Structure 1
Amino acid sequence: MSTTGERAGGTVYEQVQASAEFADLRRRLRRFVFPMSAIFLVWYLGYVLLASYAPVFMGTKVAGNVTVGLVIGLLQFVSTFVITTMYVRFADRTLDPAAERIRTAVEGR
């Protein structure tokens, strides 16, 4: 074995990257991140389009000087925090245990 960390079949990192466990971890991450990103981008684009092409609707007063546009804009922040919370819970339950198993296996070699 060389001192650079290379072993038969590539470096430890290349072996881990080629492993089924790592592929499963990446698949799980992508199954959460890509759809959630798409949903958020559509939601944000909808807000921008409404602001651009429906100013009368966005300027509709809900209560006092609070408008529909302001409410939707504030909901953008709320949705960001909700998505972040969902990701942290998902990572704690799904990603972190799998990553820990991979790390332990690599360190035990």
Structure 2
Amino acid sequence: MKITGIDALQNKLRKNAMLDDVKHVVKSNTTNMNKNMQNIVPVDTGNMKRSITSEFTDGGLTGTTGPHTDYAGYVEYGTRFQAAQPFVKPAFDIQKKVFKNDLERLTK
């Protein structure tokens, strides 16, 4: 399902659903992905776990979450000296199914 633009989204939403419902779905899924990342992330000092934060833009229609340390990419993908310890992609893979199902429920 691909919906581009707020007008197309509003036309696709079922009668009783509103943009506030979409914002709720975005917020809950972003928050859940944040929690999943924090549960999966490998912890040494706890700095990277504490750096995982969420941000909402576009009036709540866009949610972004992720780590904010310089070395998060090295942990996620590994280096030639260190094996990968993915935590962003596994959390994303779990949450994308839930997010898609939540949005499809609103459009039926």
**TM-score interval (norm. to shorter):** 0.3 to 0.5
- State the TM-score, normalized to the length of structure 2: 0.41
- State the TM-score, normalized to the length of structure 1: 0.40
Report which of the two has the higher share of helix: 1
